[in-house]
Amino acid sequence: MASFSGFIRKSPPDRLRRFFEERSVDAPEGFDWASDGRGTALVRSIENLLSNLTDRQQDALKAELDHLASLADSNGLISAEQICAGQDIDIEGLEGVQDVLLTLSVNHPQVLDRVAAQTSLMRRTGGRNWSAFQFDDDGFPWALEDETARGSFLTDAIAILDLPDHRKREADWYKSIRVHPITGEETEIVQATIYVEERAESELAFGPSETLERQIVQKVLEVGIACNARGRVVEICARGGKKVRDEYAKSFAKHFAPHADAPVETPRREGLLDTLRQSPEFETEPADSIEKVEVSSLDCYSTGGGFCRFERRGDDENIYQFLERRFSGFSPLKASGWTITGATIRIVLTAREGQRRKTLTVTLRTPNTTTLPNKTEKDRHFVFDLLERWKLIAPPPKETAVVEVV
């Protein structure tokens, strides 16, 4: 867990003062809230202030500061920006992540809880407790605002977790705004954090009589859901393995997208689309049974704000030859100021005896969206292995331990 000392040293003086005032910590007149140099003097001064409180008050304040410090990184700042944009909370002009977190803790404590949940989701994206599911566009809008559907989905969550019906539960639904890191395009995300009363645990603790006693501690389990209705993608962060997250996806489809086919899991992998600035050599092996591989479309973005898409399919000329013929050195692949933000690749497999040729189509979009809808698990693994071989996606992220504060 991060220490609050560093958090205090980096916090704006006025915001820090307001934080302690709201928690009835009285500082003497002339108290210097500014961090000078390494900030050691300020940390010691604040620890002296806290020493005047009761032990319980000290523990509570230090725990809150530790919690804020655990969120004070790039993930925490991005989460705060996304959540606040969805809640119409203006944090423009605040002085960094410490300022943002202190402001939310004073003025919007519920929003701070959402930022914590979102930060946890971001840290786990691509990890073993996270899955994303791609839905086909069936032409019907998702019923994300339907209270009956929300209630039924929450009931299903209790059943999936195999917990008794009497366990307390609560679902916090809210909106956030994700901003594409290259194009600046905004996408509205509907999120839910499901809190469920988990099985109680027995722990040793010092009781009111100041002696060691065994107490029953009620734990809280969290499940995170992020819904991109426009892209038809649902992200699920939950313990219990792939089968459990598959059950959540099925329940989501049943209640919010009843007209859709079963969703397909799509691993989140960083796209390395700069590889496609030149015609790639798609290395294949006889065992792959691949007849042909082609880049059929490229999406490009200009620093001036322009978008363009080029599509080309056919045996006579590939997309690179087409761009060279039409634009030569002025094509977005060669001219300065252009970035590749998306690409579609078609993998044509060799026809087997008595069967038609099979084509696997995969779309890559920056920064980390890889869609391969309506394919079998075997096909998906095959394609992702190829994309790694061709250096079009980064290797899977290594799982890192994350300490949660509940």
pLDDT, mean of residues 239-256: 92
Burial class of residue 91 in the structure, from the number of CB atoms within 10 Å of its CB (0-12 exposed, 13-18 middle, 19+ buried): middle
Instruction: Write the CB contacts of 334 (distance below 8 Å, at least 6 apart in sequence).
Output: 277
Length of the chain counted residue by residue: 406
Residue type (1 letter), 15: R
CA 181 to chain centroid: 14
pLDDT tens profile 278-319? 999 999 999 999 999 999 999 999 987 888 999 987 778 999
Whether the link from the prior residue into 286 is cis, omega within 30° of 0, is no
Q: Which residue is it, tokens 């579609």?
A: 344
pLDDT tens profile 82-118? 999 999 999 998 989 999 999 999 999 999 999 999 9
**Prediction pTM value:** 0.77
CB 106 within 8 A of CB 136: no
pLDDT at 341 over 90: yes
Q: What is the pLDDT at residue 154? A: 93
Q: Which has the closest alpha carbon to 3: 97, 58, 67, 78?
A: 67
Residue type (1 letter), 75: N
Helices (H) and strands (E) in the chain, counts: 11, 13
Distance, in Å, from the CA atom of 16 to the CA atom of 99, rounded to the nearest integer, reads: 8
Beta-bridge mates of residue 340: 300
pLDDT tens profile 119-176? 988 888 877 888 889 888 888 999 999 999 999 999 999 899 888 888 888 999 999 9
- Which range among 65-79, 206-220, 345-359 shows the weakest confidence by mean pLDDT? 206-220
CB 135 within 8 A of CB 253: yes
CB 203 within 8 A of CB 218: no
Distance, in Å, from the CA atom of 53 to the CA atom of 47, rounded to the nearest integer, reads: 10
Distance, in Å, from the CA atom of 307 to the CA atom of 329, rounded to the nearest integer, reads: 18
pLDDT tens profile 347-402? 999 988 777 888 999 999 888 888 776 567 788 889 989 999 999 998 876 654 44
Distance, in Å, from the CA atom of 33 to the CA atom of 188, rounded to the nearest integer, reads: 38
Q: What is the pLDDT at residue 102? A: 96
124: tokens are: 């786990």
**347 by DSSP, 3-state: which?**
strand
